[in-house]
Amino acid sequence: MSESHSVEGHLKLNVADYDKLIRQLVPGYAAMRAAHMELLKKFLPTDRRVTVLDLGGGTGALAEAVAETLPLADVEIWDIDRAMLGVARERCARFGDRVRYVEQSFTNPLTPCDAIVACIALHHVKDLTVKAAIYKNVFAALKPDGIFANADVAIAADGKLRDFSYQQWVDAMGTHGIDEPQANAHIASWAHEDYYPPLFTELELVAKAGFAAPEVFWRQLPDAIFGGVK
């Protein structure tokens, strides 16, 4: 991931507006967030403190959801965008030292933890060699039975399904008043920094990182939550 990447520059908006706009631009965002939290509740213990890493945590929306859903969870937000981390600090201030802010690239070794999550972040890693190294860092950091759950856009690989995935995305933006030409222009613009590998490729990288049984935990075109349990 480019060390100069900035969500503010990438989406051409003020960081304070990000949370509102992401729901307009990403279909099924709310459903994906709900599924993410249900997954963590299922896999993480509720009777002891746990540590959850949020990769590319941006505005702190995912970290806030984790801290609210799991009262015994400590959350580390890893992000290289200082402006976004500033927003996260304000949003998550009420959690005190339960939420920590790490201004580092997650290409670096990660803190040992019980779970690692990400949401609409890892598609910025266009180099699959770099992404493979990140997934290896993820596996190394997780404790036994720890879960990696990455929520992101995952466009289908097949030609017709690929077209269908993008059309679902465009149609979803339309429900928020973004017409088809505008939606296609957004997607074309993001392609300069984003790459959505086929889900099969993502699962291969997860397997090569060490996960014995890579899994798609949730799917709603064009989004998915995938990863594995150590």
Give me the CATH number covering residue 82.
3.40.50.150
SS3 21: helix
In contact, 102 and 74? CB cutoff 8 Å: no
- pLDDT band, very low/low/confident/very high, at 6 (cuts 50, 70, 90): very low
Which residue reads 């997860």 in tokens?
A: 206
What count of other Cβ atoms lies within 10 Å of the Cβ of residue 199? 18
Overall average pLDDT of the 82-107 stretch:
92
Backbone angles phi, psi at 225, to 5 degrees: -120, 120
Overall average pLDDT of the 114-121 stretch:
96
Question: Highest-confidence range of 11-15, 61-65, 190-194, by mean pLDDT?
Answer: 61-65
The predicted pLDDT at position 4 comes to 38
- pLDDT > 70: what percent of the chain? 93
Pairing of strands 223-229, 142-153: antiparallel
Q: Is residue 65 part of a domain?
A: yes
Given a cut of 70, whether residue 16 has pLDDT beyond it is: no
Q: pTM of the entire structure?
A: 0.88
Mind listing the pLDDT tens digit for each residue in 161-181? 888 888 888 988 888 889 999
Q: How many domains does the chain have?
A: 1
Instruction: Give the HSE-up count for residue 64: Cα atoms under 13 Å, Cβ half-sphere.
Output: 14
Structural domain span for residue 65? 7-229
Overall average pLDDT of the 201-224 stretch:
94
Q: Is residue 2 part of a domain?
A: no
Q: Is residue 96 part of a domain?
A: yes
Mind listing the pLDDT tens digit for each residue in 62-84? 999 999 999 999 999 999 988 88
Q: Is residue 85 part of a domain?
A: yes
